[in-house]
Amino acid sequence: MDVVAQLIDAIGEQNVVTGAQVTEHFNGILDPTPMCARAIVFPRSTDDVSAVMKICYEWSQPVVIQGGKSGGVQGHVSKPDEIAMDLKKMSAIEEIDTVGRTATVQAGCILETLQDAAVDKGLMFPLDLGGRGSCTIGGNIATNAGGERVIRYGMMREQVLGLEVVLADGTILSSMNSVIKNNTGYDLKHLFIGSEGTLGVVTRAVVRLRQNMPSSNVALVAMDSFDQVLAVLQQADTGLAGQLTAYELMSQNWYELNSRHLGVSPMENGGNYYVVIETQGSESEHDLEKLEKVLMPLYEQGLIVDAVLAKSQKEVEQIWGIRESVEAATSMDSPYFIYDVSVPMKHMEAYLGNVESGIHENFPRGQCYCVGHVGDGNLHFLVLPFAAGDKAELHKQVNNQVYQPLAEFAGSISAEHGVGIEKKAYLPISRNETELQLMKTLKKTLDPKNILGRGRIFDY
């Protein structure tokens, strides 16, 4: 029997897709092209995952793990010689503990499903991002996802209490801790969080839930300078006393593009920068007053040009729509490249100026849109070069404009999407040789045959 026949024997024919049928599956929501892989396996349990990994380890067969296939750096995209392991059949929410405020979930559970289930119990799962309807908890753990509420609740790493992982040789490592404090030696879960499917298959997790906040308010604020964006952040954080949940930047061209595209115009006076401010609290009227009280002096001090408060759910959705919608930018007649970087706040304006001028010098018709979770130092760019030439070559040129200045500003080539395949060549900008060597030692120890996520993050 070859490796595929053994996999069919181990987990059943109905859970393995081979041959031409592989191409009926797609590479992901950002890349709806047909998949290629030696086979796709759909394990139903941790034991199935373990059986698959034992066989693949025996055969030195490369495996790539797939959750919701919404990843931004191609880490989940399978190669023709790989077995793709899709975790969609492991999607159960096994338990919600309303007293301990935890959820025990299988890795293939969709983020939005967990969010909804928590709200049904009067609780909330705070991680939130634009791909919420597709991405999975396992994928969120593997990429250490961030999103729009990191400023208040932290990244995925902060939400995970316990993990179950299957190692490259099929060993099941169960570390399903459910308490917040547990200092009993090395906290092994952190090895796997953010490891992008290169150290083990996350199969189950215990995550923290928080009390659901019954009141939420959203404001859209316009400002003229980046200094003002940062000054308003500090004053809002102080004035809102713990209620600030999101502080999301949009460049003027992004705001104009999307408000035109969506046919909404919430604000009369514009600025060079726009920020969505979201607060969450427990008393709607009181919280709204508090937000107004914070914004009014900022306006009087000339720190903000204009501000509007959403007065209905429809207005909330319109404001978030302008921030989150990517349809207008991605349907234009140019290749587009998406970026996710971190920069210390004090260098953000200089870095931003550097990238924008680099793009305009190299691509005279180019457009550089900037949005970002600016409250935690994270910027996203969407660059459209509007230039002729090979797409891969254009991508490289734009990459250089975005990544090279990061070394000077002590930034990171990846804030929250990970490295995957797309950013591998640029990793030395953000990591030194000693760090890279230790990462490779860990990889070699946990996956000596280099079968899990081979060629993702780094080569060795």
Footprint of ligand FAD (CB under 6 A): 29-30, 64-72, 75-76, 87, 107, 129-131, 134-136, 138-140, 142-143, 145-147, 196-197, 201-202, 416-417, 420, 453, 456
> To the nearest whole angstrom, how small is the minimum distance from the Cβ of residue 109 to ligand FAD?
10
Q: How far apart are CA 404 and CA 55, in angstroms?
A: 42
The single-letter DSSP state of residue 9 is H
> To the nearest whole angstrom, how small is the minimum distance from the Cβ of residue 28 to ligand FAD?
6
Nearer Cβ to ligand FAD, position 138 or 162? Answer: 138
Nearer Cβ to ligand FAD, position 188 or 296? Answer: 188
> To the nearest whole angstrom, how small is the minimum distance from the Cβ of residue 303 to ligand FAD?
27
Residue 382 contacts residue 336 (beta carbons within 8 Å): yes
Token pair belonging to 172: 């099941």
Residue 63 contacts residue 56 (beta carbons within 8 Å): yes
> To the nearest whole angstrom, how small is the minimum distance from the Cβ of residue 289 to ligand FAD?
30
Instruction: Name the nearest CA neighbour of 281 among 272, 290, 293.
Output: 290
Q: How far apart are CA 169 and CA 184, in angstroms?
A: 25
Token pair belonging to 288: 């709204």
Nearer Cβ to ligand FAD, position 151 or 303? Answer: 151
Alpha helices in 137-187 (DSSP H): 137-143, 150-153, 156-159
State the DSSP H helix or E strand holding residue 206, giving kind and residue range, or none if neither.
Answer: strand 201-208
Q: How far apart are CA 379 and CA 377, in angstroms?
A: 7
Nearer Cβ to ligand FAD, position 215 or 325? Answer: 325
Q: How far apart are CA 378 and CA 371, in angstroms?
A: 9
Nearer Cβ to ligand FAD, position 287 or 416? Answer: 416
> To the nearest whole angstrom, how small is the minimum distance from the Cβ of residue 74 to ligand FAD?
8
> To the nearest whole angstrom, how small is the minimum distance from the Cβ of residue 436 to ligand FAD?
18
> To the nearest whole angstrom, how small is the minimum distance from the Cβ of residue 350 to ligand FAD?
24
> To the nearest whole angstrom, how small is the minimum distance from the Cβ of residue 364 to ligand FAD?
29
Q: Which amino acid, one-letter code, is at 142?
A: A
**Neighbouring residues of 206: CB distance < 8 A, sequence distance ≥ 6:** 102, 103, 104, 160, 161, 162, 163, 176, 177, 178
> To the nearest whole angstrom, how small is the minimum distance from the Cβ of residue 398 to ligand FAD?
19
Residue 84 contacts residue 41 (beta carbons within 8 Å): yes
- Counting every residue, how long is the chain? 460
Neighbours of 269 (CB within 10 A): 9
Nearer Cβ to ligand FAD, position 335 or 358? Answer: 335
Nearer Cβ to ligand FAD, position 172 or 387? Answer: 172
> To the nearest whole angstrom, how small is the minimum distance from the Cβ of residue 156 to ligand FAD?
7
Residue 142 contacts residue 417 (beta carbons within 8 Å): no
Q: How far apart are CA 302 and CA 426, in angstroms?
A: 41
| Geometric angle at alpha carbon 142, from 137 and 143, rounded to 5° | 100
> To the nearest whole angstrom, how small is the minimum distance from the Cβ of residue 80 to ligand FAD?
17
Nearer Cβ to ligand FAD, position 65 or 151? Answer: 65
Nearer Cβ to ligand FAD, position 124 or 457? Answer: 457
Backbone angles phi, psi at 344, to 5 degrees: -55, 140
Nearer Cβ to ligand FAD, position 405 or 453? Answer: 453
Nearer Cβ to ligand FAD, position 48 or 196? Answer: 196
**Neighbouring residues of 362: CB distance < 8 A, sequence distance ≥ 6:** 385, 397, 401
Nearest residue to ligand FAD on Cβ basis: 139
Phi-psi region of 236 (alpha: psi -120 to 50; beta: other; left: phi over 0): alpha
